[in-house]
A = this chain, B = another copy of it.
């Protein structure tokens, strides 16, 4: 293990903490760009409570509403323009992962010279990383992406249907206000997709990270076990605030770096899913549910011991030997059954996706990330044909 780690975000966690938004924001200035997604936060009162807290602390608001589920480059440009025009001092993201991602890139785009798309990782040669951003405060209304406490964001260029990402020190939120009360109104399906999303964040590094990170393995298993214990309760009864809190806490930890630290892991399942959702605008978590289990069956062929460990520690299966491929397969089956039990899909057809663009998705994924042999980084690295094979297995 050799790595550098730093996560400077202040985390304020707990039911009712939304009321602290104003006092947190006013440390950064008098005017906030309030970034939001759809209309649900207006219907359930969250929006009004956020505004009231900000105004009570002397912070006025410029709005950028309507961030899409897979946030678009044009939305980022629009938000940055509002922030500049209105002279905003701080960006407040109130919404799900898309809203938070868009808000973080808006905060960087505020100072960025040139096209914000040039800060994304798809343009390796001409890429100009952002080095400065407005302070960001995240207030997630969905337990899923973990975007509230990291420096990453995923944006889609709607003109080219390419979905890419950026990670920058300057984009770490100053403060994440994580209030599980804001998630009680999330519908069952979105709740389930969020659970799948958070679990996939840790399976990526668990299965694709470097060898020799046993403590990170335990942490990943801990996140999965906790999400599997509490997730179904949150799906069954959305008003179960305890379950909502445990799921949301797991979602924060799943991608704030504590599990991935030192694993130096690529995220092949995300790369493949991003290509799907860029084309079809499907919920990210739903796409992950399908791709992740299909990918696991593919990867288990070359690394049965790794998947056998997963089967043993997460599902309590007994191994005949450390490379027990049957136990490995059984663990993946049980994992898929868990995802199905909470309402996640297992086949592309369930999302209305056919076999027409399989090669295109594979090519797009390879555009996002590839090694010097043109393969998608991961364990194992995948050729275009292998990505197509994985997707074809779950049509």
Contact = CB atoms under 8 A, between A and B. Distances in A.
Contacts of A222: 215, 217-219, 221-222
Question: How many identical subunits does the complex contain?
Answer: 2
A226 B214 CA distance: 7
A2 B13 contact: yes
A8 B10 CA distance: 9
A245 interface: yes
Given A5-B10, A8-B6, A214 B242 contact: no
B11 A6 contact: yes
A17 B5 contact: no
Interface string A11-38: 1111111000000000000000000000
A4 interface: yes
A262 interface: yes
Interface in A244-266: 245-246, 249-250, 253, 258, 262
Contacts of A8: 6, 8
A250 B6 contact: no
A12 B218 CA distance: 21
Contact of A215 (B17, B214, B242, B249): B249
Contact of A2 (B14, B221, B253): B14
Contacts of A4: 10-13
A9 interface: yes
Interface residues of A, number: 38
Contacts of A1: 13-14, 245, 249
Nearest to A222: B218
A355 interface: no
Nearest to A12: B4
A216 to B, nearest CB: 9
A248 to B, nearest CB: 10
A230 interface: yes
Interface of A: 1-17, 212, 214-215, 217-219, 221-223, 225-226, 229-230, 242, 245-246, 249-250, 253, 258, 262
30 contacts: A1-B13, A1-B14, A1-B245, A1-B249, A3-B11, A3-B13, A4-B10, A4-B11, A4-B12, A4-B13, A5-B11, A5-B13, A6-B10, A13-B262, A212-B246, A214-B226, A214-B229, A214-B230, A214-B246, A215-B223, A215-B246, A215-B250, A215-B253, A217-B222, A218-B219, A218-B221, A218-B225, A219-B219, A219-B222, A249-B262
Given A212-B242, A222-B222, 5 more contacts: A4-B11, A13-B262, A214-B229, A217-B222, A218-B225
